[in-house]
Structure 1
């Protein structure tokens, strides 16, 4: 009798979707993360195969749950939209995030950021951008044959993948859509939406007032026809006076 020895069962690898740390360390950092993420969502809203996420754990290697990073904002072109607990690259046709953003806070150390750069370089990021709101400084890296290379001049830089333009002003980082429109904060988007709603309501009211004026003018012409007939004016004269056709006057006179 031959005994078959079953291979030991490999324990299931768990890929956590959180490390218990906050998304951001302060309101400034959080505001920038939300602004960039929301505007990229808006920019690619009509493309079903662009996935944008904020503070999402990215696991590039199957079975290695210690190899992980959570970019402040990541963009994956070629993968469908939809909710994910984490980004497991082997389940996404092996496609890594092509574009990554990090927003610095005072708690970020140089060692931490050096490790992030090595991670993004090793696992296939094509464009990497770091913005420091406190210092109002912007740095970027672009992939070449040798890996991620520093972008020497970020002012008016246009992302090859996203087609957005970067600019720095005294007020901070400015990002511009391909159509030239500036990225907006949530407050600005809400304010613009409210202004557009008010403009639409004003236009509706103007149209309603114009309709009512037209109805009153039409009724006034109708009411004038019997009086003008009593004054012995001819159908032709009434039509000319009221700006109506002869047939219209005849029809209204018979009502």
Structure 2
């Protein structure tokens, strides 16, 4: 009887899709979240079993709707892409998000970040990265035998799971895909797309001009052949 009542209680638990907290405190934090999120989505766009999410509530334990975190960006290998109101781990085959990013803002407290690190360590995150864009400071942790261990040197660090490289040699962090292509903002991608579309249009115009010139040459050759016929000359016999 007790187990039946507990099961009914678990079914009736509501897992909110929102923690009523803002996604970002300022434009810089929001921009970094978007850059990391979108570029990771592009990187794994062809793999249906890689789920990338931003500011999505993650509930690791069924029956406890108070135990949750909303990573700025998280990557989950082994689950299908698709829309979700939240990430309820027990509904995802028990798969833990393997990689988590947090982007700091002035409003983040040390206590808050310590609490997040304890959560990610306890519930199986493999890689955890924290970036402070105001200080251009990057910290990372990689799971070892005893949980998340500090990565001593982040300069040119390559993520074992993602294959991306972290470059701190500039005034701001730069991230690179495994093929060496740098991460880009939506605005930069839009500008590149616009340039590419302009080049395509220019090539189309050049091809159209060539087609028109070829057509003019064909018509000129036909007029010349007709003139030769009126003179009693077979144009095909003319060398």
**Shorter-chain-normalised TM-score: which range?**
over 0.9
1:16 and 1:32 map into 2 onto residues whose CA distance is 26
What residue number does 2:9 align with? Answer: 10
Per-residue displacement from partner, 1:194-250 (whole Å, max 9, x unpaired)? 111111111111111111110000111111123345667664663x3xxxxxxxxxx
After TM superposition, the structure 1 = structure 2 runs for residues 79-90 of structure 1, keeping only pairs within 5 Å, are 79-90=79-90
> 1:161 Cα deviation (Å)?
0.5
Three-state SS of the structure 2 residue aligned to 1:75 is strand
What residue number does 1:54 align with? Answer: 54
Larger Rg: 1
Per-residue displacement from partner, 1:125-170 (whole Å, max 9, x unpaired)? 0000011000001110000111000111111111110111111133
Which stretch shifts more, 168-177 or 49-58?
168-177
After TM superposition, the structure 1 = structure 2 runs for residues 6-155 of structure 1, keeping only pairs within 5 Å, are 8=5, 10=9, 12-155=12-155
Tell me the TM-score normalized by structure 1: 0.87
Choose between structure 1 and 2 for higher RCO, CA contacts under 8 A separated by at least 6 residues: 2
Pick closer, same or farther for the CA change 1:215–1:10 going to 2, 3 Å.
same
After TM superposition, the structure 1 = structure 2 runs for residues 171-250 of structure 1, keeping only pairs within 5 Å, are 171-229=171-229, 235=235, 238=238, 240=239
> 1:14 Cα deviation (Å)?
1.3
Q: Which sections of structure 2, spanning at least 5 residues, go unmatched? A: none
Q: Which sections of structure 1, spanning at least 5 residues, go unmatched? A: 241-255
Pick closer, same or farther for the CA change 1:132–1:10 going to 2, 3 Å.
same
Pick closer, same or farther for the CA change 1:5–1:84 going to 2, 3 Å.
closer
1:176 and 1:113 map into 2 onto residues whose CA distance is 26
Three-state SS of the structure 1 residue aligned to 2:32 is helix
Tell me the TM-score normalized by structure 2: 0.93
